[in-house]
């Protein structure tokens, strides 16, 4: 999977316009639901759907809430006490806006990535997914002010919602990512929100089952995980069609960020991505697979994404974006399954 050169950079200006519209709003609504618009519009523009972005945003606008009022400024000295405090979302956003204005965004990302990585489950993994979309735009195209500001918003959201997983033991080694995901034990109480479900986690399969042999091996294993989680959705997504997309989109967000990070951070990034994917799988995966889908037939990747865009659901758009990164027939079938399972938004 070549995630940095698959699709040309946007030259229409639509993405920057959309991000500017969105940066007056907060990253959440209703107390904890995520604002998916920055991620969805990035995927729409990337896959040739720029002409419909503003119409999509007009429809999504009713779900957006204003950015919360600031509480107390986050500084280089007091940030540890503000980490994981969702009441400080505006304070954290302001902090990263100042940081990315004063220093190159790659420097800020490299400094904060290892601090934030242990809390990858934050906000049902939406903050790291938003970071992944943001980093992709900065790597693929011009470092415009709206795109750098989007990274500040994404990092601020992650810091405010920072949520480490509980201590976990090992269920034993698994030979590959698909086997590891199939060996994840679902939580006992399949009810309530994700925070209640994550609190029930006790153990994950050990994967990778051998030491990671350097940064390139870490990247290859991460690609394997994204592929396995995307494929698995085709059979298991019916259990919770919205939440289970994150088992694939969260590790893919980490994969997208790797080229912007120091190589010594790639191996720990793999470990965190596996924890996020396994956590979502444990929280929402059903016990048995569904019957296989018919598959994409003769549809091209572009046609599959066009179906997701016409469907309009933000999670479906983002999952299909990840499926196109994987790019094989099973991934495209999984994307079509997400179109089938999730309620349309347009």
pLDDT in single tens digits along all 346 residues of the chain: 644 334 445 657 999 999 999 999 999 998 889 999 999 999 999 999 999 999 999 999 999 999 999 999 999 999 999 999 999 999 999 999 999 999 999 999 999 999 999 999 999 999 999 999 999 999 999 999 999 999 999 999 999 999 999 999 999 999 999 999 999 999 999 888 999 999 999 999 999 999 999 999 999 999 999 999 999 999 999 999 999 999 999 999 999 999 999 999 999 999 999 999 999 999 999 999 998 877 788 899 999 999 999 999 999 999 999 999 999 999 999 999 999 999 999 8
CB atoms under 10 Å from CB of 69, counted, come to: 9
Rounded CA separation 205/288 (Å): 18
297 Cβ contact partners less than 8 Å away, ≥ 6 residues apart: none
Residue 10 has what pLDDT?
Answer: 60
Residue 4 has what pLDDT?
Answer: 37
- End-to-end distance of the chain based on CA atoms, in angstroms? 30
> Residue 107, CB half-sphere, CA atoms under 13 Å: how many?
6
Residue 333 has what pLDDT?
Answer: 96
Residue 117 has what pLDDT?
Answer: 98
Rounded CA separation 199/186 (Å): 12
Kind plus residue range of the DSSP H or E element containing 206: strand 203-206
Q: Where are the domains of the chain?
A: 14-161, 166-346
Inter-residue contact 262 to 209 (CB < 8 Å): no
Residue 9 has what pLDDT?
Answer: 53
Q: Which two tokens stand for residue 59?
A: 């429809």
Rounded CA separation 269/215 (Å): 10
* 3-state SS assignment for residue 176: coil
């Amino acid at each position: 999977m070549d995630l940095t050169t698959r699709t040309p950079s946007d030259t229409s200006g639509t993405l920057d316009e959309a991000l500017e519209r969105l940066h007056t709003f907060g990253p959440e609504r209703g107390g904890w639901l995520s604002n998916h618009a920055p991620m969805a519009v990035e995927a729409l523009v990337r896959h040739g759907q720029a002409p419909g972005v503003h119409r999509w945003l007009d429809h999504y606008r009713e779900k957006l809430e204003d950015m919360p009022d600031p509480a107390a400024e986050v500084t280089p000295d007091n940030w540890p006490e503000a980490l994981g405090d969702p009441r400080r979302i505006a304070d954290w956003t302001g902090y990263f806006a100042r940081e990315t204005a004063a220093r190159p965004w790659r420097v800020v990302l490299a400094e904060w990535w290892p601090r934030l990585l242990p809390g990858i489950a934050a906000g049902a993994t939406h903050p790291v997914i938003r970071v992944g979309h943001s980093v992709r735009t900065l790597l693929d195209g011009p470092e415009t002010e709206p795109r750098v500001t989007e990274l500040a918003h994404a990092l601020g959201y992650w810091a405010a919602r920072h949520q480490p997983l509980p201590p976990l033991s090992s269920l034993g080694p698994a030979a590959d990512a698909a086997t590891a995901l199939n060996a994840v034990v679902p939580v006992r109480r399949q009810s309530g929100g994700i925070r209640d479900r994550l609190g029930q986690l006790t153990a994950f399969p050990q994967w990778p089952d051998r030491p990671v042999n350097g940064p390139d091996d870490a990247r290859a294993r991460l690609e394997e995980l994204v592929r396995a989680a995307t494929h698995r959705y085709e059979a298991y997504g019916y259990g919770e069609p919205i939440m289970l997309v994150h088992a694939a989109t969260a590790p893919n967000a980490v994969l997208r960020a790797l080229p912007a990070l120091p190589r010594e951070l790639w191996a720990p990034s793999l470990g965190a991505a596996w924890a996020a994917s396994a956590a979502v799988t444990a929280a929402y995966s059903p016990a048995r697979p569904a019957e296989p889908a018919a598959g994409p037939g003769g549809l091209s990747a572009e046609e599959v994404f066009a179906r997701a865009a016409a469907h309009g659901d933000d999670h479906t758009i983002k999952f299909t974006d990840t499926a196109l990164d994987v790019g094989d027939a099973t991934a495209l079938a999984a994307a079509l399954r997400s179109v089938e399972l999730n309620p349309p938004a347009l």
